Amino acid sequence: MMRYLLLAAAASAFQQHAVTKPSVAMRGAFSEPDFCDGLPGALPPTGAWDPLGFTVGKDSGEIRRYREAETQHGRVAMLAVVGFLVAESYHPLFSDVTGPAIDHLTQVRKEYPAFFEIGALFIGLLEVNRALQGWAFPSSRRVANTLKDDYYPGDVGFDPLGLKPSDPEAFDAMVTRELQHGRLAMLAAAGFIAQELTNHKTIIETLKLLVLLDETELDKNLGLDLPSGDVATLDAEIFSPAKDTFGMGGN
């Protein structure tokens, strides 16, 4: 349920004036000096990949703000992907919350409304902390929505396990890994949501049906005797929406 509250949390609106480029120490083998203000995250084979030109003509402050948004959305998406798979198999907080994860928030709001409000308050506190850590207070209506000069995008000071490297190159490598996992997670979370809206089955259930379908294709092509079922039946099962008991769509 918390993944949906995290997805619903608004980005902070407190921010700053003049913004300088990240120091040379912040740049390493995972960046290109002339792309994205030299921030790490550019890897082969794509390299400086910006087909829509979001960073073209943007100053350092704007690019760093984009990176802040990308990093935070990637973190939320990674939590969401894990939340989908865990909560649909076993909900650690509410044993009576079942079915596709896209329905869990509705169920919790109906059964435990106080928990929803407490969760929203907790997320609000986290966002205020992020605003105080990274965003400069606007000096005027025209000078707003900027990061502090000494703030590295995404570094909110939360590192309870001490994983942040002190070596600049190792730091760039870790930042790049986080970005790549976050980018993949954003695509995966979007795919999970789209799939559940389509057939209203849990992700695990859909994956099991796809595995059975693959085994049936093997059976047909190689003459193996796999206990799977016929392709037409499995195909219909995958794409037929399950009954929706919480008003979220489906048949």
State how far the Cα of 244 lies from the Cα of 194, in Å rounded to an integer.
Answer: 15
- Identify the residue whose tokens are 């219909």: 236
Per DSSP, helices labelled H in 147-227 are 168-199, 203-222
Amino acid residing at 3: R
Span 149-203, pLDDT tens digits: 889 999 988 888 999 999 988 999 999 999 999 999 999 999 999 999 998 889 9
Per this entry, what is the length of the chain? 251
Q: What local confidence, expressed as pLDDT, does residue 115 receive?
A: 85
pLDDT category of residue 6 using cuts at 50, 70 and 90: very low
Burial (CB < 10 A; 0-12, 13-18, 19+), residue 75, is middle
State how far the Cα of 51 lies from the Cα of 196, in Å rounded to an integer.
Answer: 30
Span 41-74, pLDDT tens digits: 888 888 888 889 888 888 888 999 999 999 999 9
Mean pLDDT to the nearest integer, 82-91: 90
State how far the Cα of 127 lies from the Cα of 105, in Å rounded to an integer.
Answer: 20
